[in-house]
Amino acid sequence: MRRTEISAPESLQSVAGKAQCSREFPSMNTAWREVLNMRRNTRMNTVIERTGFDPAQDADNGNRFLTGNGYMGVRGTIGEAGVQQMTAVNLAGIHHQKGQGWEEPLNAPNPLYVAVKGVSLPENADRLTSHRLALDIADGAFTRESTFKADAGEITIRQERFCAMERVHLLAQRVTITATHDSVVTIAFGVDENVWDIHGPHYEALTLTESDGVVALTGETDDHQRVCTALRCSCTDGEITHGGVRTAQIALRAGQPWQLDEVAAVYTTSDGDAPEASAMEAAENAPAYDALREEQRTAWAALWQKARVTIEGDARAEFAVNYSMYHLMSIAPRHRAALSVAARGLSGQTYKGAIFWDTEMFMLDFYLACMPEVARHCLEYRVQTLPGALDKAKSYGYAGAFYAWESVEGGKDACTDYNVTDVFTGRPMRTFFRDTQVHISAAVVYGLRKYTQYTGDDSLLQSGGARVVLECARFYMSLISKRILSDTYDLLDVMGPDEYHEHVKNNAYTNEMARMTLDYAVEVCRKYLPETDEAELMHFADAAKHLKHQAPDPKTGLIEQFDGYFKLENVLVPEVRSRLIDPREYWGGAYGVAAQTQVIKQADVIALLYMLGQYPADIIAANYDYYEPRTEHGSSLSACMYALCACAIGRPAAAYPLFLKSAEADIVGGGKQWAGLVYIGGTHPAAAGGAYMVLLYGFLGLRFEDGKPTLHPRLPEGWKKVQMQVHWQGKDWLLSAEEGQQA
């Protein structure tokens, strides 16, 4: 077995077939910069585009062309799009609950509304001659260009916009209108008073303020949260006709572009007491469009310098994985400590803008490798929201910390008891995500443990993290039970990652994660919380020892997903799918087509095998072969786990399509957009993170051995060379693997 593919940059020219030791990569290394330039010279594609107008693609395009900066996300809809097309300026870390509806993040009033009368979509689609949407992941700029037949020629509308990566309250847009003939058009632009909400409306009122050429629209919720969008425009013709929208007549000269520059600022009461003043001041004092645009290029270039991946021989995979990282960077909370990433990123209010286990289990690896400060922010969020987790546990009669399944402000659980709507009756279905997916607390511990191990930095544990670990262990201690006549401990009535099976006993994944939590708590408490009663730690150790282990069957090597799983109907996915009556019906719940079968929603045992990394290859292979044809991959968290296990058993060819499925989740679109009758569309940052994990830990086979990173590459066919950079233990490392260097 050949391995060790960590290459210092100067070795890039001579790695093929050679085993080399890893070396520290100097920060801002010149050689690596050259490599990036070299790659750029080969015209590696950084642009994703779609041409032609299809309203059915509005939702997917909104995700596909998303721009963001961690503070806000702007869906990739066109200027004249509104509520119907799910246009949104989605905000991180600010939530509101309207009445008894689902709590969800607030959308700011959209300042980039722009519509030209008579050449607007979808109304004038019949006059469209060309239409193109594009996103350059190199600098996070969205472009829209549409040409319409007009009375005496053609009119072309171009928008270019971005969320400023360095000044996160700002977003900017340049609109260019060009006609082939002299004409006068009516243009409406500015802050749209129509705000898309799923469980709203959240604003009781919207207030318009105008001052020094800045127009601001402030929404206020019934609990007095305020969100202000202020807009400074290069054009102040015409007048405000509705909301913060100005309507003007503009004279176009044949062939001469008419240009509108807009710079907007968003502030909320989460940022301070006077969001209007802050937003208006920020809009007024912001640099001009061109300056912001240049700043944006520089900011993204710096990000890409650390993140960029090159895959010689597979342009599709190369783009897909870089595109995945683009999304993860666009939604990364760089600007604020103790803020985390929502399961749908900043692509809207679906999943309530809440933080799921996705962050710790699927996104953390990328942030650790490329944006360690973001990894820290995400985990600080868990430390800071410990009181919410303690409250949740208490409300169920448990001890310790039961983290929210869908965490919103203060760690409150936004997950309701009814998450799915029955397509046959229209009734809400009682679901058990909130109360029985107890593996969430272990995910938080897993994240803290990974952060500490990966970075070598234990300051998170010292500053509250250890307490989180202790309280999560206490939570499991209060849950674990035993038959009075048995020595085996059980975790009863849980739901594992596979949500299609409710009320299961001793879910293999959950039990092992709970055991990890208990063991880690003993270690962490002794070191960081020496005042902890040793007797309690002995209880932890005892529970970890006796908690039921779903051991691989000695003959088959199979691990039972939960007690009794193998007694369920043994059918594969196509059979179960064929039993659907309504394509939107929920596969899980009590009576869903999968519920009484062995068909599962997503990686469960397979997630365990990868996540805890303590099983030999033959066990992984046996379980991979058994569970894969029984897995719907109905969650975007599934394919990457299978791909990682496939790599672990030397099957990169099997991993490859699963890797692409993850990496292209938001490129392809059209994923599962409905759970029963509830819309769950949006971007898939966990799939993006999963794709990154497959590349790094699967195809490159990164491990940390003997105090340094080593590679055990298992490259898919056709991949000539992979290069990427990771941050580890405070230093940057350049990784390189070439065809032929298999583990």
List of residues contacting a copy of itself (CB under 8 A): 399, 417, 422, 424-425, 427, 429-430, 477-485, 489-490, 492-493, 503, 539, 543, 581, 589-591, 595-596
Instruction: Of 733, 664, 636, give the one whose Cα is nearest residue 327.
Output: 664
User: How far from each other are the two terminal CA atoms of the chain, in whole angstroms?
Assistant: 5
DSSP alpha helices (H): ranges in 396-438?
433-436
- 730 by Cβ neighbours in 10 Å (0-12 / 13-18 / 19+) ranks as exposed
Neighbours of 606 (CB within 10 A): 29
Instruction: Of 119, 114, 212, give the one whose Cα is nearest residue 161.
Output: 114
Which distant-in-sequence residues (6+ apart) come within 8 Å of 538 by Cβ? Answer: none
- Least distance (Å) from a copy of itself to the CB of residue 548? 12
Q: How far is CA 665 from CA 85, 316, 320, 639, in A?
A: 20, 13, 9, 10
Nearer to a copy of itself, 204 or 542 (CB): 542
Determine the Cα–Cα distance for residues 88 and 200; give it in Å rounded to an integer. 13
Determine the Cα–Cα distance for residues 112 and 458; give it in Å rounded to an integer. 44
Which distant-in-sequence residues (6+ apart) come within 8 Å of 91 by Cβ? Answer: 71, 72, 105, 106, 107, 108, 227, 266, 268, 346
Nearer to a copy of itself, 162 or 475 (CB): 475
For residue 83, what are its two tokens?
A: 């509520």
Look up 499 and say whether it is catalytic: yes
Instruction: Of 159, 143, 149, give the one whose Cα is nearest residue 124.
Output: 149
Q: Which long-range contacts (CB under 8 A, 24 or more apart) does 23-32 make?
A: 23/733, 24/731, 24/732, 24/733, 25/725, 25/731, 25/732, 25/733, 25/734, 26/732, 27/732, 28/305, 29/732, 29/734, 32/305, 32/725, 32/734
Nearer to a copy of itself, 112 or 547 (CB): 547
The residue type of 624 is Y
Nearer to a copy of itself, 193 or 536 (CB): 536
- Least distance (Å) from a copy of itself to the CB of residue 539? 8
What b/e readout covers 49-88, taking b as 16+ CB neighbours within 10 angstroms? ebeebeeeebbbbbbbbbbbbbbbbbbbbbbbbeeebbbb
Determine the Cα–Cα distance for residues 643 and 665; give it in Å rounded to an integer. 15
Determine the Cα–Cα distance for residues 402 and 411; give it in Å rounded to an integer. 10
Nearer to a copy of itself, 423 or 693 (CB): 423
For residue 106, what are its two tokens?
A: 């607030």
What are the DSSP E strand ranges found in 623-683? 674-675, 678-679
Q: How far is CA 186 from CA 177, 239, 251, 259, 308, in A?
A: 11, 12, 9, 14, 43
Nearer to a copy of itself, 329 or 420 (CB): 420
Sheet holding 721-728, edge to edge: 310-312, 721-728, 731-738
Determine the Cα–Cα distance for residues 686 and 343; give it in Å rounded to an integer. 7
Beta-bridge mates of residue 724: 735
- Least distance (Å) from a copy of itself to the CB of residue 259? 57
DSSP per position, 655-667:
HHHHHHHHHTHHH
- The residue with tokens 């993850």 is 662
Q: Which long-range contacts (CB under 8 A, 24 or more apart) does 532-540 make?
A: 532/470, 539/477, 540/473, 540/477
Nearer to a copy of itself, 356 or 398 (CB): 398
Determine the Cα–Cα distance for residues 110 and 129; give it in Å rounded to an integer. 27
- Least distance (Å) from a copy of itself to the CB of residue 581? 6
Determine the Cα–Cα distance for residues 546 and 543; give it in Å rounded to an integer. 5
Nearer to a copy of itself, 149 or 482 (CB): 482
- Least distance (Å) from a copy of itself to the CB of residue 437? 16
Which residue in the list 104, 499, 628, 632 is annotated as catalytic? Answer: 499
Which distant-in-sequence residues (6+ apart) come within 8 Å of 56 by Cβ? Answer: none
Nearer to a copy of itself, 380 or 502 (CB): 502
- Least distance (Å) from a copy of itself to the CB of residue 494? 12
Question: Mapping DSSP to helix (H, G, I), strand (E, B) and coil, where does residue 701 land?
Answer: coil
Question: Mapping DSSP to helix (H, G, I), strand (E, B) and coil, where does residue 721 land?
Answer: strand
Nearer to a copy of itself, 1 or 581 (CB): 581
Confirm if 328 and 684 have CB atoms less than 8 A apart.
Answer: no
Instruction: Of 718, 684, 692, give the one whose Cα is nearest residue 345.
Output: 684
Nearer to a copy of itself, 253 or 427 (CB): 427
Nearer to a copy of itself, 429 or 525 (CB): 429
> CA torsion sign, 663 to 666 to 667 to 672?
positive
Nearer to a copy of itself, 219 or 589 (CB): 589
Write out the catalytic residue numbers.
Answer: 499
